[in-house]
Amino acid sequence: MLTMSDTRSDAAVTVSAVGQDLALLSWTAEQAARLPGAAERAYAALVAAAVERGLVPLQERVFGDLQVAPAVSRARADALRAAGVDWPVPATFVEGSPAEQAGLAGIHVVAARGQALTLAEGDRAYGALVETAEARLLGLSDVGRRGADRLAPGPAEEAGAAIEAAEQLLAREGFSFRDVARTWFYLRDILDWYGPFNAVRNQAFRRMGLTGPSGDGKIPASTGIEGRNARGGWCALDLVAVQPRPGRRCSLRRLHNRRQNEATEYGSAFARAMELTLGESRLILVSGTAAIDERGATVHVGDFEAQTRFTLEAVAALLEGAGARLGDVQQATAFLKNPCDLRSFREIAAGSGLVNAPMVTCVADVCRPDLLFEIDATAVVRGAGR
């Protein structure tokens, strides 16, 4: 993993390469977020790291208090202007408050190197398609914006419209949801309508032919978490899709977890993880994971520390099944239901292989009222793949 810091020691960007033309970039300096100018320093470092490596964003998530969204947007624009580059697709700003102060919690970017095309309708840019040496990589950003001018009857209908918009944008470039490796759903007031959300997603994925018996369907890995967006919508949807170039080593494989049953068995249409092979590197995209056992039941109700340990053990078991470990995680987001649990989480994380992972930690409701913690992660394994 390469690390690039700006001129101040309190703001750093970590960069982890995946194959020749894909990289993960993260700004997660929690202490720096307390200081004035955190957004400016964050984006100056992120843009510099990307420009130096010839990378453009496929998917870009910003976590923080909604009140700082305008300042972050200005800082991003200023950094790009100063570098003389253009990232026309807006970042997805998600409410994910830092656990111990107001402001910016962190930024994750998935970026690629190659010939880039912006996917736009009129003056709205929704995504980027990058043609690399190994693959065609497509990222979409908050496609719920596409229907923002039309009032949806309710939150579930808005989520359905976002999935439909993504399907249409993918199809324009010769992709489908069968090519989607990873989705991120950020849902306002998730506990009020997670059931209807699942019903809409299940219906859409059945229509697309993505679900199958015994965990065989080619559904993507996913995070579904609480998160208001700056435009006031019910649902923000981001995704990354991939198609191999002829003759290149590029493939997608659904992974399973011996510690947990398939999410489809309790009504949620997502894979526990997807493995993307690019050349001699593998990217393991771990879905949002919480303290749910092999029967689909919440365990250790009311005990944050026990739920967190169970969750990290589940992630470790999933990675182990793919020949990886927690120490291979190069990008992660941790969601705490209660900010008072931050110290306990840090102590538990310090005792696990995640201690050095670039991780954004923020406050958000998880998809069940009795779940106190969730984490999603992306691991990178270099060398001969499977």
Q: What pLDDT does 102 receive? A: 81
Q: What pLDDT does 216 receive? A: 63
Q: Which ranges in the chain belong to alpha helices (H)?
A: 38-53, 69-83, 155-172, 190-207, 304-321, 342-350
pLDDT digits (tens, 9 = 90+) for 7-53: 233 457 899 988 889 999 999 866 555 556 889 999 999 999 999 99
Q: What are the DSSP E strand ranges found in 268-313?
A: 273-278, 281-289
Instruction: Tell me the two tokens of residue 222.
Output: 């996913």
Overall number of domains in the chain: 1
How many residues in the chain? 386
The pLDDT confidence band at residue 362, using thresholds 50, 70 and 90, is very high
Facing residues of 283 across strands? 276, 380
d(C-alpha 262, C-alpha 59), whole Å: 26
Amino acid at 237: L
Q: Which ranges in 125-283 belong to alpha helices (H)?
A: 155-172, 190-207
Instruction: Tell me the two tokens of residue 79.
Output: 């950094």
Q: What is the pTM of this model?
A: 0.94
Please tell me the least confidently modeled range out of 10-14, 79-83, 153-157, 350-354: 10-14
Please tell me the least confidently modeled range out of 46-50, 154-158, 210-214, 267-271: 210-214
Q: What are phi and psi of 203, to 5 degrees?
A: -60, -45
Burial of 28 (0-12, 13-18, 19+ CB in 10 A): buried
Contact 329, 378 (CB under 8 A): yes
Contacts of 365 (CB under 8 A, 6+ apart): 190, 191, 225, 226, 337
d(C-alpha 16, C-alpha 286), whole Å: 16
Torsion of CA 367, 368, 369, 370, to 10 degrees: -130
Cα 292 → chain centroid: 20
The pLDDT confidence band at residue 105, using thresholds 50, 70 and 90, is very high
* CATH code for the domain in which residue 238 is found: 3.30.1330.40
Q: What pLDDT does 153 receive? A: 77
**Mean pLDDT calculated for residue range 326-352:** 95
Burial of 308 (0-12, 13-18, 19+ CB in 10 A): buried
Under the phi-then-psi rule, with left for phi > 0, alpha for psi from -120 to 50, and beta for the rest, what region is 383?
left
d(C-alpha 316, C-alpha 221), whole Å: 16
Contacts of 234 (CB under 8 A, 6+ apart): 144, 152, 154, 155, 158, 159, 187, 188, 189, 193
Q: What pLDDT does 249 receive? A: 87
**Mean pLDDT calculated for residue range 76-104:** 93
Q: What pLDDT does 132 receive? A: 93
**Mean pLDDT calculated for residue range 253-276:** 95
Contact 59, 240 (CB under 8 A): yes
| Whether pLDDT at 245 is above 50 | yes
* 3-class DSSP assignment, residue 355: coil
Most confident of 31-35, 228-232, 275-279, 284-288: 284-288
Q: What pLDDT does 228 receive? A: 93
The boundaries of the domain holding residue 150 are 2-382
Contact 97, 66 (CB under 8 A): no
Under the phi-then-psi rule, with left for phi > 0, alpha for psi from -120 to 50, and beta for the rest, what region is 209?
left
b/e per residue, 88-101, with b = 16+ CB within 10 A? Answer: bbbbbbbbbbbbee
